[in-house]
Structures are given as structure tokens and as C-alpha cells.
A and B are shown apart, each in its own frame.
Chain A
Amino acid sequence: MFQKWIDKSMRKSPWIYHINAGSCNGCDIELVSVLTPRYDAERFGFHLTGTPRQADIVVVSGPITMQSVDRLIRTLAQVPEPKCVVSLGSCPRSGNVFKGSFAIAGPLEKYTHVDVSVGGCTPKPEAIVAGLAKAAEILEEKRREMRKHGGMAPSPAVAAAVEHEERAEFGTGDATAVRQGAEQEADA
């Protein structure tokens, strides 16, 4: 019973850690607006932590510059399981306007499994909230999987199960489509 409580509270208290991998600060400002009084993600239990050790959801913004790739990998390795990786904006997905630059080492999928990808340049706060809520659900699923396969350490079976999991995507970079996606998510 205690384990089931823990599973449920996984979704109710996801803590966010934000990595800026060479972002132009646009997505970062939108993420901050999600956490501040207007959108107030704290009402769903989201909380911005200062250290990767306490994080559940890692939000990556920016096109993964050559300078940041080493730090990105090291920071992601410090996050305890179960964890979710959310890519924020178009940059970690495709490189966006920086695509083809010699200074870019992206996309993010080359280095880690991406659970939720919120598109847009910059994504609307509604889309970010919807994406984070989806990530919180995936977090609960992952915790269930981990428990099924026993132990706290992630086994290869878990990694495979996670790998096959369908990746949720929001928005397409086009503002209206993003808003529609967010509204559909809100309706569902």
C-alpha cells in the first residue's frame, strides 16, 4: 500500500531542474512565466530545484552547443531514477535557426532519451504546462515499471521498456498549432 502511495505522489510532486544548453533565453523566460503567479505551476506540485540530485523532470532548452554538451551529459547522469527529460522549444529538437552551425552538437536525442518534447520558438506557457503534466504522468509510469522489475537501480529491461514507450509531442513550432495542442490536452 505504501508503495502505491509513493507511485501516486510521483505524479503529484515533480520537481524541475532546468538546463540551459545555449538557449537564447526566450524559452527560459517562458518557463519562468509558467512557474510564477500567472500560470502558477506550483498548484500541480511543480517546484524548481537548484540541484540535479533532487530533480524528477529535467528541462533542457537551447540547441546543445559544443561548450555545453559535456556539462549536459554529466548533469543528466547525476539525476536519480526515475527521471524524465523534457526538451523545451525547437532548438533541442532540431537546432532551429542554428542548424548546421559548427558550434552545435545537437539534437538532444543523440545524448539521451527524450520523454516529452514541447515545440515552438518559443512555446506558449500553456503548451509547457501541458508538456510538464504529461512528463509527470510518464514519471509515475516509470516508477511502476521500476517497481515491477524490482530494486531501485534501473535494469536493462526498464531501459528497454522506457525506450519503446511512445513519445508524447506537443506543438509544431507554429503558434496556433501549439495553442490547439495545449487546448486539446487541457480538454483531455
Chain B
Amino acid sequence: MQILIQLFHILVFPGLLFDVAMGVLLMGLNNKLVARMQNRVGPPILQPWYDFLKCCGKETIIPARAKRAVFLGSPYLGFVLLISVSMFIPFAGFIPVTMGSDLVVILYLLTFVSVCEILGAASSGSPFAGVGLSREMVAMISYELPFVLVILTVARAVGADQPSGAVFSLEGILAYQEMNGPLLFSPAAIPAAIAMLFVIPCETGMHPFDIAEAETEICEGMLAEYSGTPLAMYRLTHMVKVYTMSSLFVAMFLGNRFTGIVPVDILIGILLCIAVMFISAALPHAVCARLKVEQVFHFYWTVVTGFALAGLLLVWAGV
């Protein structure tokens, strides 16, 4: 019975199926909200799901110069890694898997999801994919530094009075927030939250920061040679990543158990994810044109890192 419940958690509720459903919902709402802000009708909310199914139905072409195993394998590996990331992130109080230092594991696995995409692009043998993967590396360098600083800030803010000095376990962070209220309401954590809101769109490759997939400049960049089911897996990975990052934000800064009633908590969690997606992804998409590579790098290493560093110093000073 214990195993069945565990399997249900991994495959259905906070796990695989729920991740995919939330990814589709968030991506579809993002498209719709951006369209409404641009005075358009916009695609139906299920459009990402239609795109995914359509890509599954297309022929899969493997270029002659591609390394077959890596080219076909890396999209699936990336998706599996991302789903395993979402196992560590609690939703409405459910955590399928937990261990001592969740945040460090999440940081590493999220990097590997991007590395899988880079591997697939590098094995496709297309010069456009080559340009795209070098840009993706620049984007990774840009957002990883503020992301690590934000995680250090949260760990320190929660674990300041602990003997270890920092808590990297999401369960501990949730317990702290249950006792002391959401971290977002303490003034010292606000700069870190702002930095995290900027990390989300770059991590997920959303519009103003999608330098790696600039379809008008470099032919979809890393995905230039992908078609059929592997492309569908990449699309799904991008969708689920939006959900994973926004639920990570909710878990780190807002907590999980709001009322104690499970269905209400789930509903509030979904609404909070949508709100985070709207502020961090849809608004910049509607307002801003795509940035240049060096603009992204410059912006993240000055403004966003500045916010994250300010947050870290405030928390370390014990404000």
C-alpha cells in the first residue's frame, strides 16, 4: 500500500501527470495573456497540447551528420531529469521525494536539463544549432549566478538560528514558513524574490530572454534540426520547466500549506503559480522585444545579481 501511494505521488498527483497538465495550462495561459495584452484574440489555452500532439504525429528526420543515439536520446533524458526535479519540489504539502539538501540537488538537476538540450543540439551537426548552444551557454552563465545567490539567501534566512547556519531542505523551509509566515513578507527576502522572478523567464527560455531560440535570427537555434517526437519532448520539457520554476518560487517564498484543507491548498497553489508566471514571464513578453546576447548577460550580471547580492547581504546582516 505504501508503495502504491508512493507510485501515485510520483506518476499522478504532484508527479508526472500533474506536471504535464500544469505545464500545458501555464504555457497556454501565458500565450493567451500575452495575446490579450497585445490586443489579439490569441490561441486557445490548450494550444501547447495540440502542438505537442501534432509534433508526435510528424515524421522524425535524423540528419545524416547527426550522432543518432545522442540526437534521439537527449530530449527524453532531459524530460526525465526535469520530472525528477519536480519530485523534490513540494506542492500543496505533498513531496514525493525528499532528502537533506533538496535545493542543491534541484540546482544541479536543472543545470543538467539544459546540458541535455545542449548535447542534443551539438550532436545534430547544424551550424544554427551550434550558434544556439553557444548562446544557451551564455544564458546559463547569466542566470546561474543570481539563482545560486537566491538559494543561498533563502537557506540563510531560514536557517539563521539553526546550528548549521543554513537550511537547504525544502521541507525545512516549508516548516519555517508555516511558523513565521511566508518568506516574501519579511523585508530582507524581497530583493531575492525579485531576482528569482527574473531568473524564471531566462531559465525557461521565455520570450525577451530566448536568445538561444531566436527563430528570426538563427532558425530556432538549438532545435534547428529537430522534428517529430524528439521536438515534441523538447516542447513538453519547456512547458513543464515553467511550472517547475514557478512552483519552486511558490515553495521558497510563499510556502505550501495555506489553510490546511488539501483541495483548497491545491487551488491556491495553482493560482499562485499562474500569478508568478504572469509577473515573471507574460509581462516581460508583452512589453519587451527580444534582447541581444550581450544585453542579457549584462542585465543579469548587473541588475539581477545586484538584487540577489543585496538580498544575501541583508539576510546575512540579520535584518
Contacts and interface: CB of A to CB of B under 8 A. Distances in A.
The reply to whether chain A is a binding partner of chain B is: yes
Given A5-B53, A51-B224, A53-B224, A45 B47 contact: yes
A43 B43 contact: yes
A125 interface: no
Interface stretch (B9-17, B58-66, B93-101, B301-309): B58-66
Interface residues on B, range: 35 or more
Interface string B22-39: 000000000100010011
B50 interface: yes
Nearest to B218: A50
A151 B58 CA distance: 11
Interface string B249-280: 00000000000000000000000000000000
A56 B216 contact: no
B296 to A, nearest CB: 19
Interface stretch (A65-73, A76-84, A95-103, A161-169): A76-84
Contact of A143 (B42, B57, B219): B57
A13 interface: yes
Contacts of A44: 43
B85 interface: no
A81 B58 CA distance: 6
Interface string A96-130: 00000000000000000000000000000000000
Given A37-B39, A37-B40, A40-B41, A50 B54 contact: no
B49 to A, nearest CB: 8
Nearest to B39: A37
A43 B42 contact: yes
A177 interface: no
Contact of A80 (B31, B44, B50, B227): B227
B128 interface: yes
A179 interface: no
A-B pairs with the 3 shortest C-beta distances?
A: A50-B215, A6-B57, A80-B59
Interface of B: 31, 35, 38-44, 47, 49-51, 53-61, 128, 214-216, 218-220, 223-228, 231
